[in-house]
Amino acid sequence: MQPNAVRLPTELLRDFRAGWRGFLITAVLGRLAAFVVLWPLAGVALRLVVSFSGADAVADQDILFFLLTPAGFVGVSVVAAFGLAIISVEQAGLVALAGARRRGGPVSVRRALKSGWRLLPALVGVSLRMGLRLLNVAGPFLLAAGAVYLLLLRQYDINYYLDQRPPAFWGAAVILGLLGTGLAVVVVPRLAGWCLVLPLLLFEKASPAEVLSRSAGRTADCRRAIVRTFLFWAVAMAVLGGVNLAVCGALGRLLVPLAGDSLALVLPLVGGLVLLWVGGNLVVSVFQATTFALLQDYWFRQLGRPSEVPPEAVEGGGEMASEDGPLRAPWRRLAAGGVILLLVSALVGGWLLEGVQTEDHALVIAHRGASASAPENTLAAVARAIADRTDLVEIDVQETADGEVVVFHDSDFMKIAGVNLKLWNATWAQLQEIDIGSSFALEFRGERVPRLADVLALCKDQVRVDIELKYYGHDQRLEERVAAIVEAAGMERQVIVMSLKHTAVRKMKALRPEWTVGLLAATAVGDLTRLEADFLAVNTGLASRSFIERAHRRGREVYVWTVNDPLQMSRLLSMGVDGLITDRPALARAVLEHRATLGCAERLLLNLAFWLDAIPDDLVREPVEANQEA
């Protein structure tokens, strides 16, 4: 069955126009109810599941270990199924509304939503079945990908493969690409075969146990056509979202320079642009959800029994006309609406202004020293960071075969020296023979792996040091040795310690309770802010405003890594981070100094830039130029 390439989009647009009010109300009310009721329940459930690990959150490699436990796998699977069901509840309401409209007569939004909510238990069951079936299909591909990693990318440190990209890297990339393509070829038609799940649950009262098989059977002869229609839909929706952002950004770039530094002009301008962007996103989002529901209804009418529409979605209170018709807006209403919009824009601008910090208190933390200007974790990088006026120098420490604590990040020397030697197999004398500077630049050819004691001697009374404990499964007495070296240098008050391993954080804190010890995290499941740590050093993807505020309420500072872009630095500073971990400490210092010269209006415009790419060039160009001059 081949849908007409012109008729189908036209039909979808006509159906959306005819019932846009009902679809809008259904989508907004459905999301509001899910936000108020269902998503908080999902959060509580996730916290309960993670509590099986003995902590309030699991991060990074601990997530994998947790998922390998029966309780972790079952619990996370159920919570994930519940999350998918929450999304599907709103979609089910839209499908019920679309099907009811097809039957004609008055349509009840309230009862359409009720039909969707009644499906919640069934949707959880269906989601679990879908997840298990997809895992069963994807399992061989995932195992093959793991085998490729073990065979081709495990001989040396992964950073070597990512940085140098040897033939083994490209071979693995090609094989993984083929595996990914094969997985898509298998999974996408299966997903297309399940496109009738919601209509079958709603209109034919299919049970969760049979609905996937019934949908797959009914769509068996037209999977390719279904895939093409949904791919076309996905591309069209992506373009629509991009158009919304582009229009708002263009308006911002046109209007922002007119406001200057006048707060009276900036507030309504920023508020209006944000309202336009949010409103546009809402319209696009509702249009996406509605057209997706209409597509499901279309295929159900082609392959199912469209006469089977639930009566409760057609009759009853809250009715709406079957045809909404065009909007009429007299001039008086337009004028009143304009005044109201201006006032609301000013209020939104004022609300945004409350989140703008008039002063920044963040620390500049040089990642592995000034590693953009000198070889990472070397004395040269540390010295450059000190010259760049960093507040802390972040370094990585490990133990050699003969018990020396040295400053080094990778497990071997392939990336920075082309030497196939694991650090835990090397002695201190061997390390002094390895040139780790020439690969960065010939001027650094004399650089060698330094000891922790050497770095501390260079930094003492000049700059504080952030020591990251690195573990590759070969540590001996790393925490005790680090503590002894720091104390021998008399730098207890000039050092903080962190690690990706929460067990190491607890161990270090137990050894030296008075020290500042933090947790490093790239990904997490659960609430990181509840874990035992004096501060949190997180990837930029975890650093939301709500996360930062939650951490501050619990007395934990938030450092963010690795931030090398001036716009991103400014965005994070506006969010209230306590430290920027960066390869370019001089640039971070220039951004902080430039922000100190900005007024509230300019800071508000900076915040706007991250949403709409509508920032005056001079707000970014000046700190970059200052850094280049330095």
For the chain, the average pLDDT equals 84
Q: Using CA atoms, how far apart are residues 25 and 93, in angstroms rounded to an integer?
A: 11
Indicate whether 497 pLDDT > 50. yes
| Gap between the Cα atoms of 79 and 47, Å rounded | 10
Predicted model pTM: 0.82
**Considering the domain boundaries, does residue 349 fall inside one?**
no
pLDDT at 106: 53
Same domain, 523 and 603: yes
Q: What does the pLDDT read at residue 8?
A: 82
Peptide bond into 540 cis (omega under 30): no
pLDDT at residue 384 in the model:
97
By residue range, what is the domain housing residue 258?
17-138+224-322
Query: Which of the four pLDDT bands, split at 50, 70 and 90, describes residue 337?
Result: low
Region 163-170 average pLDDT: 94
* Average pLDDT of the segment spanning 527-535: 91
pLDDT tens for 533-590 read 999 999 999 998 889 999 999 999 999 999 998 888 988 988 889 999 999 999 999 9
Least confident of 16-20, 84-88, 431-435: 16-20
Residue 167 lies in a domain: no
Q: Whole-angstrom Cα distance, residue 254 to residue 372?
A: 35
**204, part of any domain:** no
Model confidence band, residue 314 (pLDDT cutoffs 50, 70, 90): very low
Higher-confidence position of 315 and 269:
269
Which pLDDT band, with edges at 50, 70 and 90, does 260 fall under? low
Query: Quick one: what percent of the chain has pLDDT higher than 90?
Result: 52
Q: Which among 616, 615, 612 is positioned nearest to 274, based on CA atoms?
A: 612
Q: Are residues 533 and 591 in the same domain?
A: yes
* Distinct helix (H) and strand (E) counts, the chain: 25, 15
Per-residue tokens: 142:
């995932």
**b/e 592-604 (16+ beta carbons within 10 angstroms → b):** bebbeebeebbbb
Domain boundary pick from 264, 296, 322: 322
Last residue of a domain, one of 289, 307, 322: 322
Half-sphere exposure of 307 (CA within 13 A, CB side): 0
Same domain, 317 and 371: no
8 A C-beta contact, residue 123 and residue 89: yes
- Asked if residue 275 belongs to a domain, the reply is yes
pLDDT digits (tens, 9 = 90+) for 209-228: 999 999 999 999 899 999 99
Flag whether 207 is in a domain. Answer: no
CA-to-CA distance for 609 and 252, rounded, in angstroms?
Answer: 9
Q: Which residue has the higher pLDDT, 576 or 254?
A: 576
Q: Is the domain of 584 the same as that of 519? A: yes
- pLDDT (0 to 100) of residue 321: 37
The rounded distance, in Å, linking the Cα atoms of 49 and 55 is 10
Write the CATH number for 510. Answer: 3.20.20.190
Per-residue pLDDT band for 3 (boundaries 50, 70, 90) equals low
**pLDDT per residue over 398-407, tens digit each?**
999 999 999 9
Residue 133 within any structural domain of the chain:
yes
Q: Within this chain, do residues 126 and 252 fall inside the same structural domain, yes or no?
A: yes
One domain for residues 617 and 496: yes
Same domain, 316 and 386: no
Same domain, 272 and 406: no
Least confident of 319-328, 601-610, 619-628: 319-328
Beta strands in 315-400 (DSSP E): 319-320, 363-367, 392-399
Please give the average per-residue pLDDT across 450-456, as a whole number: 97
Weakest-pLDDT range from 192-196, 213-217, 252-256, 275-279: 252-256
Residue 370 pLDDT? 96
Alpha-carbon 310 to chain mean position: 39
Residues 377, 228, single domain; the answer is: no
Domain annotation covers residue 78: yes
* Nearest in space to 556 (alpha carbons), one of 509, 525, 518, 521: 518
Give the model's pLDDT for residue 342.
54
Predicted pLDDT of residue 584 = 96
The secondary element (H helix, E strand) that includes residue 405 is strand 405-407
Is pLDDT larger for residue 610 or for residue 174? 174
Confidence of residue 323 (pLDDT cuts 50, 70, 90): very low
Q: Is 60 exceeded by the pLDDT of residue 470?
A: yes
Q: Are residues 316 and 427 in the same domain?
A: no
**More reliable by pLDDT, 27 or 345:** 27
Is 9 domain-assigned?
Answer: no
34 DSSP 8-state letter: I
Asked if pLDDT for residue 475 goes beyond 60, the answer is yes
Between CA 611 and CA 560 the distance in angstroms is 20
DSSP letters spanning 337-388: HHHHHHHHHHHHHHHHHHT--SS--PEEEEETTTTTTS-TTSHHHHHHHHHT
The confidence band for 624, taking pLDDT boundaries of 50, 70 and 90, is: low
Q: What is the pLDDT of residue 383?
A: 97
Number of structural domains, the chain? 2
pLDDT value for 382: 97
pLDDT score of 241? 87
Q: Are residues 503 and 571 in the same domain?
A: yes
Higher pLDDT, residue 271 or 612: 271
Instruction: Name the domain boundary from 298, 322, 346.
Output: 322
Q: Which residue has better confidence, 312 or 164?
A: 164
Please check whether residue 237 is in contact with residue 269, taking contact to mean a CB–CB distance below 8 angstroms.
no
Q: Are residues 317 and 367 in the same domain?
A: no
Q: Which residue has the tokens 């050819």?
A: 445
